[in-house]
Structure 1
Amino acid sequence: METLQNNVTINLSQLLSHWQGHRGLTRRVIEAFPEDKLFSHSVGGMRAFAELAMELNRMGAPGAHGIATGEWKELKDLPGAEEIESSPTTQQGILQLWDWSSDYINNVWQQVVSTRLQETDNAYGQWEGPVWWHLFYFIDNEVHHRAQGYVYLRSLGIEPPPFWDR
């Protein structure tokens, strides 16, 4: 049996670029919805995409903050969050919060040191694991929910953005 070697490296800038690539694509999915369908359309009893987008908004910036600082805060408690509506009820509001969160992620990411990814942390006092695992969960969860958005858009007769265009 071949032994795996620990000689593969991805740097923090590449991780951020990968994450933000997913976020940019998810933003385009949010934009593709007619506003009324964003808040009301469902398939098979799943939540409306606006709810899924808000779940991702509540994870993105707070997750990056936790990764960077070890402080796991709610979105509304992040520095500068008082400037933005943290519970928007319109498509434009969700997109504005999405953009604010993306900028916040870019800014707080500058505080992350590479050794942090190998530390164990208890995110939000509930989920203990390596910090890299938390980051991958945030990305995986976004991909999962974005896929639901693709199903919704297709069921509405709307062609979603190409999934590879990140």
Structure 2
Amino acid sequence: MENKTFPLSPAVADAPVLTSQILLNHWQGHRELTRRVIEAFPEDKLFTYSIGGMRPFAQLAIEMLTMAGPGVRGLVSGKWDSFEAVQSKLQSATTKAALLKLWDESTDEINEYWPQITPERFQEIEKVFGQYEGPVYWSVMYFIDNEIHHRGQGYVYLRSLGIEPPPFWDRK
């Protein structure tokens, strides 16, 4: 079979695969799904249930929250609190309702700060939370990957509790 290449105009060849808005929409779809996973947990299991030494899902959600809003705000401003300092502020959430409220506030914070990340900024190197150095786009992708990873743990917990988790592909 012959391998055909199709020449592209310079404008098309340099066009981004994803725009900033497409990336944000993708992440917010994951965040909406993770929110539904939080909602699916029984109140008495969200903060206590664990398998094989993994942390309870509420602790995983707090980690996700630590990266989300504060992460985008830091990517915009270049000013960072330590990961531990941000996380300790979120530990006050001890009910599902409080955790979901923080989740929604975080979503609003992401939506507020995201438009301030310029296309050039995505290519700049940043030391996120004073620890992880790399391009801004890499940090955003890490925030998303970390959420997907921990949401998968939530799926395992829910299934072990006999609860059907929301469909993983349904990221409305």
> What interval of TM-score do these two structures reach, taking the shorter chain for normalisation?
0.7 to 0.9
Question: TM-score, normalising length from structure 2?
Answer: 0.85
Query: What is the identity, as a one-letter code, of the residue corresponding to 2:158?
Result: L
**Where does structure 1 lack aligned partners over 5 or more consecutive residues?**
79-83
Partner secondary structure for residue 50 of structure 2: coil
Match of 2:66 among 42, 58, 70: 58
Q: Output the CA distance in 1 between the equivalents of 2:99 and 2:123.
A: 33
2:44 alignment counterpart: 36
Question: TM-score, normalising length from structure 1?
Answer: 0.88
Q: Output the CA distance in 2 between the equivalents of 1:99 and 1:128.
A: 28
1:81 alignment counterpart: none
> Is 2:46–2:58's contact at 8 Å kept on the other side of the alignment?
yes
- Pick which of 99-108 and 84-93 moved more: 84-93
1:100 alignment counterpart: 105
Establish whether residue 155 from structure 1 lines up as the match of residue 160 from structure 2: yes
Percent identity, aligned pairs only, is: 57
Q: Output the CA distance in 2 between the equivalents of 1:155 and 1:13.
A: 36
Match of 2:32 among 15, 24, 31: 24
Stretches of 4+ aligned residues off by more than 6 angstroms: none
Establish whether residue 69 from structure 1 lines up as the match of residue 77 from structure 2: yes
Superposed, 1:75-90 pairs within 5 Å as 87-90=92-95
1:53-95 CA-to-partner distances (Å, cap 9, x unmatched) read 11111111011112222222368x99xxxxx976211000000
Query: What is the identity, as a one-letter code, of the residue corresponding to 1:41?
Result: Y
Greater CA radius of gyration, 1 or 2? 2
Q: Output the CA distance in 2 between the equivalents of 1:113 and 1:122.
A: 17
Superposed, 1:6-17 pairs within 5 Å as 7-17=15-25
Change (3 A) 1:131 1:51: same
